[in-house]
Structures are given as structure tokens and as C-alpha cells.
């Protein structure tokens, strides 16, 4: 039972305590049916299309070649948005719309431009069709050199996504995919980026914001049943990248029960290491911050906090959360296996 409990704690780390499923996600998995909507504005004009990447004759398109379309979803569900094939290449995306309203959708390019020319495309969704053009060149344009001024340990840019793998002792099990969702949320006056995570068809939603080296999340402490009950949700800091090793801070206290005992719960965070290296598989990742998280409980009768569970979390510069680990008694690890970060 303890190993199962700690496995749930590690899973809680990647979601950083996602909000209650009953309120914020689809309890039975993915939304049913087909999404509906339009590529046009209320006035009937086509929404703007953003073109990314360089398009060169005889060069196969890569992940840097995509277009972003604006879709006003009127119903949730599965969608497919695609263009025709023109001059040897095309664009496509399929997925699920979890909310209605105006959203940005990224269509990935495939194929290889054949001719040096302006290439016209039609893009279709539901009953709406719009047009855009891409200029295919003979050679790559000169590179634009931009100095890197950001040192972000938890990227929240649109379409950034990560895949993680469980390791329980020598056994690997389920994978988890989490991605930045294009719609922000406003809670108690703060604006959060929305993340969607999926494991075995189950969808969870979580919220993050950051500023001045501080990284916040919003949720409760009990998504994975560390405590019997908790009474509220809180906005709290899960990472600080601007403080030295051994710095400690705490989340707010919330009312909770543990083993049928009423009391208070909180999380204590400690910077255990900075600018360290971590090896995952055959990959060595630099510029990593290690944070210890201690899940604390104080019975009302004594008011004295004790540790209910402990885990270590690792965050890499310009990648984000890369690993969480604990043991009781066998090692349980959640580690990153793939990432795509967009700036």
C-alpha cells in the first residue's frame, strides 16, 4: 500500500495537484462526439493565419514548419482541421476541443515544396473554408540571431508538451502526456496558463503562473488521496529559481483530515541542489534545480506538524519538470522521455 501511495504522490508531482476532476475535467475520458465551429469571425471574415518556418524548394518540412489558425469552437469534441495539398506540401492537425470559444490551433506541415513560387492553400473546418499563401524560396534566408535572456525552469508557452514514464523498481509502466492548452484561466484575480494531462485516456487539468523567479500553481493538496479530506484550494509556490541551496518555504495551510483525525495540511519545499546534472537514460541534462517536497499534517489536538510523505522533484532550465522520485521500500520514479518546447 505504501508503494502505491507514493506512486500516487509522484504522479501528483507532474500535475502539481491538478484541480478536482469532477469540476474541471471529463470524468469518463475524452469528450464525446465531433467538435463544431468556424474559422471565421462573427462578421463572416476569415480569422488571420500565422505562418511559421522557412519553406525551401526540395527541403522536407520539419517541426518548425506549421501554421496557426484561429477557431471559434461552438461545441466540444474531436476535431480535424486540414488544408489541401499544394506544391507538394500540406498542413493538418487533429485532437480534442475541451472548451468552446476562440482558440489557436497549430497545423503541422508535411511534404516537400517542389517549385519556387507563392503557394496558395485552402484550410477547412466544419463548414468554413479560408485561404492563405506561403512563399517558397530557393535557399534558406540568413539566420536571425537573438540573444537568450530567459532562464525558464517551467515553460508555459503555447503548444509546449512533455511525455513522462513511470519506473517502479525495474519495471516501467504507464506513460503520461501533458501539454499547454491555449486558453488561460482567471482565478481569484490571477491569470494562469492551463495544462492538460492524459494518462490511459483520463484527462486532468492544472493551472500555473510565474513571475520574478517564482512559479505558482493553483489546486488542493489531495488529488491523490494523501489525506482523507481537504477543505479548500490554494495558490502556492512550487519552485523558486532565484534563491540559494537550502532555502525553505511553505504552502498555505488548509483544513484536512488524516487517518480520520482532523487537523491542517501544508507542503514544505526545500532547494536541495542548483545547477546540477541529472542523467535520464542516455541523456545528461544540465542546469537542474532539485526541490524536496514534504507533505505535512498537524492534528488539531496538538498543532504539531509531522511528515506524511516526501519526494524529490527536478526542474531543468528551458525544459521544465523532468523527474520525481521516492522509495518506500522500492524506488518509484517518474521521468521525462520526450519534450517539445516552443518560444
149: alpha, beta or left, given left = phi > 0 and alpha = psi -120 to 50?
Answer: alpha
Q: Which of 73, 77, 127, 71 is nearest to 104 (CA)?
A: 71
Give the 3-state secondary structure of 244-312: CCCCEEECCCEEEEECCEEEEEEEEEEEEEEEEEEEECCEEEEEEEEEEEEEEEEECCCCCCEEEEEEE
Q: Please say if the pLDDT value at position 171 is more than 80.
A: no
Q: Please give the Cα distance from 9 to 17 (Å, whole number).
A: 9
Q: Is the pTM of this model over 0.85?
A: no
Domain 36-135 is in which class?
A: mainly beta
User: pLDDT tens, 153-167?
Assistant: 999 988 889 988 887
The predicted pLDDT at position 89 comes to: 96
Q: Please say if the pLDDT value at position 114 is more than 60.
A: yes
Which class for 59: exposed (0-12), middle (13-18), buried (19 or more C-beta within 10 A)? middle
Q: Which of 336, 323, 316 is nearest to 152 (CA)?
A: 316
The predicted pLDDT at position 66 comes to: 94
Please give the grid coordinates belonging to residue 269.
519545499
In 10 A of CB 43, how many CB atoms?
5
Query: Are the beta carbons of 134 and 107 closer than 8 angstroms?
Result: no
Write down the domain spans for the chain: 2-28+150-340, 36-135
Q: Please give the Cα distance from 321 to 334 (Å, whole number).
A: 10
Q: Does 36-135 match 2-28+150-340 at the fold level?
A: no
2-28+150-340: which CATH topology? YmcC-like fold (2.40.360)
In the predicted model, what is the mean pLDDT of the chain?
84
Please give the grid coordinates belonging to residue 104.
489557436
Question: Which range among 41-50, 138-147, 275-284, 306-315 shows the weakest confidence by mean pLDDT?
Answer: 138-147
Please compute the mean of the pLDDT values over residues 286-294 and round it to a whole number. 94
Amino acid at each position: 500500500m505504501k508503494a502505491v501511495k507514493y506512486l500516487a504522490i509522484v504522479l501528483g508531482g507532474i500535475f502539481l495537484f491538478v484541480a478536482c476532476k469532477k469540476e474541471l475535467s471529463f470524468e469518463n475520458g475524452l469528450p464525446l462526439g465531433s467538435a463544431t465551429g468556424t474559422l471565421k469571425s462573427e462578421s463572416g471574415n476569415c480569422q488571420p493565419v500565422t505562418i511559421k518556418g522557412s519553406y525551401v524548394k526540395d527541403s522536407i518540412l520539419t517541426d518548425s514548419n506549421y501554421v496557426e489558425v484561429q477557431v471559434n469552437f461552438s461545441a466540444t469534441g474531436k476535431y480535424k482541421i486540414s488544408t489541401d495539398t499544394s506544391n507538394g506540401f500540406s498542413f493538418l492537425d487533429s485532437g480534442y476541443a475541451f472548451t468552446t470559444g476562440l482558440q489557436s490551433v497549430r497545423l503541422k506541415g508535411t511534404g516537400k515544396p517542389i517549385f519556387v513560387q507563392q503557394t496558395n492553400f485552402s484550410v477547412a473546418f466544419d463548414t468554413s473554408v479560408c485561404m492563405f499563401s506561403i512563399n517558397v524560396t530557393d535557399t534558406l534566408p540568413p539566420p536571425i540571431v537573438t540573444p537568450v535572456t530567459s532562464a525558464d525552469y517551467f515553460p508555459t508557452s503555447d503548444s509546449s508538451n512533455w511525455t513522462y514514464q513511470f519506473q517502479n523498481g525495474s519495471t516501467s509502466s504507464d506513460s503520461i502526456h501533458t501539454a499547454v492548452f491555449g486558453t488561460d484561466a482567471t482565478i481569484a484575480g490571477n491569470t494562469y496558463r492551463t495544462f492538460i494531462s492524459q494518462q490511459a485516456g483520463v484527462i486532468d487539468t492544472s493551472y500555473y503562473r510565474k513571475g520574478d523567479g517564482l512559479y505558482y500553481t493553483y489546486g488542493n493538496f489531495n488529488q491523490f488521496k494523501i489525506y482523507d479530506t481537504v477543505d479548500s484550494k490554494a495558490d502556492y509556490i512550487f519552485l523558486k529559481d532565484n534563491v540559494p541551496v537550502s532555502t525553505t518555504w511553505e504552502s498555505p495551510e488548509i483544513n484536512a483530515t488524516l487517518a480520520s483525525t482532523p487537523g491542517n495540511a501544508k507542503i514544505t519545499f526545500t532547494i536541495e541542489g542548483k545547477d546540477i546534472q541529472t542523467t535520464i537514460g542516455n541523456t545528461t541534462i544540465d542546469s537542474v534545480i532539485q526541490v524536496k517536497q514534504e507533505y505535512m499534517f498537524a492534528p488539531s489536538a496538538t498543532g504539531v506538524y509531522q511528515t506524511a510523505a516526501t519526494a524529490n522533484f527536478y526542474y531543468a532550465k528551458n525544459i521544465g519538470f523532468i523527474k520525481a522520485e521516492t522509495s518506500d521500500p522500492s524506488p518509484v520514479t517518474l521521468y521525462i522521455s520526450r519534450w517539445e518546447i516552443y518560444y
